[in-house]
């Protein structure tokens, strides 16, 4: 039985005694066995451990007199994204053959909070190698198929999570977002995808910065209430972390009680043009906002999207090189081009030519952008855009050609300027398809993709609302107001 209701429904059935935890977990495992061959959304199952925990949860419930204090998602089966969300004793391969034998030694703080929320982990969702892409097509673990059309991608890097949730294999999935990796799959599959404010969810104990705060762990959702309840359950005011975010104090997600002043633009970051069909869909969404009484103001793009992205590639290169140095120590030998996909290898190699001065200037530039946008949000509640510049695209559409692969494999032989240009060229076509979701990561501000519209061929397309740091609650209030307008609600 596929899960076509949200995680809150499953939790309620367990609480009322209408569904046992063992039944819920068994259903998820059976779904994965039956349908994962078509989707390739799940890269690892932990069947024995999940069933053992389910039986323990059922026994605990049978002895419990007052169930009102149970964790909000007690007994709900969940897939972890296989990208740094580590669980002791379980593999964590990040879609990379290089890490096929890696077993986590301890739970990440994020996973600890997932367990504290009551979820039972049943496995890992498939990702592109090290999460570098807006599609999920790792050579080692294989491409993930879109539930609506196997010839399309569900996006990336949380593509396996999105496919599993949309198809109903499980009622809950985690995800992460370092440049749109929650919001892009949400747009492509018709799900809700919130990238929270920097510092909102747990980090560490192995890494407290996650690409200098640009990447954050959270989830994808079927409903606004799931998104709200999970954010409340996972949020943490983590004083030992590099980036601190006060907790949301509201106990309930209340309806919006005022119209919002919403900025929007038809301009596209980095000088690209808005797809004509996306523009039509965006206009339809704007009419919905207007009909709800919100004030819409057309503005120029507030930031230089091309420069922002160029700096992001440089930071990713440095962070990747540091990661590969650690992996090299782990396997006790140097890493070469045969160990990694060409894209991953090239990004790491470029990290070697970025100087400390380069890096310091980039982080200062990010701070200036953040300050600029925080001032922008003093005048506007929300900045609105499409989430993506098109719906889900065909499998392999942006796979590098052979000549590009060869250049990437010998990228270190080129001058620094040529190396940086190659990285831009490698991503440019795919970036044009998904250019709206990166700046929020650099600035640490929240943004949410909402499944508001569909294209002429009935494919989902997300609309993105972006706001100031700490305004996650406002974004979810807006999502709650808009939820009845979602085509599949």
Q: Catalytic residue at 81?
A: yes
The phi and psi torsions of 146 (rounded to 5 degrees) equal -70, 135
Please tell me what DSSP assigns to residue 447.
Answer: E
3-class SS at 39? helix
CB 214 within 8 A of CB 441: yes
53 preceded by a cis bond (ω within 30 of 0): no
The DSSP code sequence of 165-202 is HHHTS-SEEEEEESSSTTHHHHHHHT-BEEEPPTTSS-
Residues contacting residue 207 through CB under 8 Å, at least 6 positions apart? 84
Distance CA 116, CA 57 (A): 13
Q: Of 148, 145, 436, nearest to 282 (Cα)?
A: 436
Backbone dihedral region of 149: left (phi > 0), alpha (psi from -120 to 50 degrees) or beta? Answer: beta
Distance CA 106, CA 109 (A): 9
CB 404 within 8 A of CB 341: no
CB 359 within 8 A of CB 429: no
Task: List the catalytic residue out of 157, 176, 210, 467.
Answer: 157
Tell me the C-alpha to C-alpha distance, in Å, between residue 348 and each of 94, 139, 313, 327: 15, 18, 11, 12
Place of tokens 């301890």: 106
Tell me the C-alpha to C-alpha distance, in Å, between residue 88 and each of 45, 92, 114, 170, 478: 14, 10, 13, 22, 38
Q: Of 167, 149, 229, nearest to 32 (Cα)?
A: 167
Task: List the catalytic residue out of 181, 187, 215, 430.
Answer: 181
Q: Catalytic residue at 157?
A: yes
Spell out a b/e string for 283-295, using b for 16 or more CB atoms within 10 Å of the CB, else e: eebbeebeeeebe
Task: List the catalytic residue out of 81, 133, 166, 232.
Answer: 81
Q: Catalytic residue at 116?
A: no
Would you name the residues annotated as active-site residues? Answer: 81, 157, 181
């Amino acid at each position: 039985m596929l899960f076509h209701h949200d995680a809150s429904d499953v939790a309620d059935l367990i609480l009322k005694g209408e569904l046992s935890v063992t039944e819920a977990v068994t259903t998820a495992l059976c779904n994965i066995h039956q349908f994962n061959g078509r989707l390739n959304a799940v890269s690892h199952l932990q069947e024995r451990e999940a069933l053992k925990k389910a039986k323990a949860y059922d026994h605990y419930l049978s002895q419990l007199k007052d169930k009102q204090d149970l964790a909000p998602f007690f007994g709900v089966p969940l897939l972890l994204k296989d990208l740094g969300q580590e669980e002791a004793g379980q593999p964590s391969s990040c879609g990379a053959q290089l890490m096929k034998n890696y077993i986590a030694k301890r739970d990440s703080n994020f996973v600890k909070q997932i367990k504290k929320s009551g979820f039972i982990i049943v496995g890992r969702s498939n990702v592109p190698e090290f999460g570098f892409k807006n599609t999920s097509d790792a050579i080692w673990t294989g491409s993930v198929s879109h539930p609506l059309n196997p010839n399309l991608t569900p996006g990336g890097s949380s593509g396996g999570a999105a496919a599993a949730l949309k198809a109903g294999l499980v009622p809950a999935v985690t995800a992460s977002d370092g440049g749109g990796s929650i919001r892009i799959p949400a747009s492509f599959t018709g799900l809700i995808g919130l990238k929270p404010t920097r510092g909102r969810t747990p980090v560490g104990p192995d890494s407290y910065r996650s690409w200098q705060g640009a990447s954050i762990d959270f989830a994808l959702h079927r409903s606004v209430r799931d998104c709200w309840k999970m954010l409340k359950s996972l949020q943490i005011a983590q004083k030992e972390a590099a980036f601190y975010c006060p907790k949301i104090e509201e106990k309930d997600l209340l309806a919006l009680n005022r119209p919002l002043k919403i900025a929007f633009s038809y301009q596209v970051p980095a000088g690209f043009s808005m797809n004509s069909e996306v523009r039509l869909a965006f206009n339809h969404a704007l009419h919905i906002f207007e009909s709800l009484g919100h004030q819409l103001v057309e503005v120029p793009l507030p930031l230089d999207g091309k420069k922002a992205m160029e700096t992001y590639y440089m930071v990713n290169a440095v962070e990747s090189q540091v990661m590969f140095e650690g992996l090299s120590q782990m396997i006790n030998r140097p890493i070469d081009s045969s160990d990694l996909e060409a894209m991953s290898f090239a990004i790491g190699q470029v990290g070697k030519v970025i100087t400390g001065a380069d890096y310091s200037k980039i982080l200062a530039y990010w701070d200036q952008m953040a300050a600029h946008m925080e001032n922008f949000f003093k005048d506007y509640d929300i900045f609105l855009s499409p989430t993506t510049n098109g719906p889900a695209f065909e499998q392999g559409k942006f796979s590098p050609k052979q000549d590009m692969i060869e250049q990437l494999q010998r990228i270190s032989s080129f001058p620094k300027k040529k190396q940086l240009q190659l990285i831009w060229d490698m991503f440019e076509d795919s970036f044009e398809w998904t250019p709206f979701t990166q700046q929020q990561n650099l600035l640490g501000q929240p943004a949410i993709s909402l499944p508001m519209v569909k294209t002429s061929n009935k494919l989902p397309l997300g609309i993105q609302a972006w706001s100031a740091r700490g305004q996650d609650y406002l974004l979810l209030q807006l999502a709650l107001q808009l939820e009845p307008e979602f085509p599949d609600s």
